[in-house]
Amino acid sequence: MSHSVLIIDDDEATRGVLTSALQARGYETVVAANGAEAVHRLVEEKPCVIVLDFEMPVMDGHDFREVQKRLAPDVPIICLTGAADPEQTGRVVGAARILAKPMDIDELCSTVTELCAVPHAHRHTAAVQSTIEQDRRLRS
């Protein structure tokens, strides 16, 4: 399993801080300044988790997420947002976790560790099982 983290944020300083913190904890990092760059990085390497800023130029977090669902649907998203309602933003993109900016670096790193510990295949199987269970409940 890959222990790389794809960091997508238009702010260079934020990318640098996140990269340093994650590399200090043993993760490889791949960075992108916007969703369009991130699509190329995602094709090249499948990370264990994606740290995604929601508001970016060129391709925002929502548009990236739509592409990511087709390319690597089992890779979880940690959504970073400065939005007034971070929970709503996270729900819109289907994030595994939502962290409001400015985020606590230790909390972010702990979340990455937690999400990377679950193998991709298990996440996919769990997601499929959850969808089947929801469908059964709706039909009842």
Residue 62 pLDDT grade (very low, low, confident, very high; cuts 50, 70, 90): confident
Token pair in block for residue 121: 């295949």
| pTM greater than 0.85 | no
Mean pLDDT of the chain: 80
pLDDT reading at 134 higher than 60? no
Task: For the chain, list the domains and their CATH numbers.
Answer: 4-139 (3.40.50.2300)
For the stretch 109-131, pLDDT in tens is 999 999 998 765 444 444 444 44
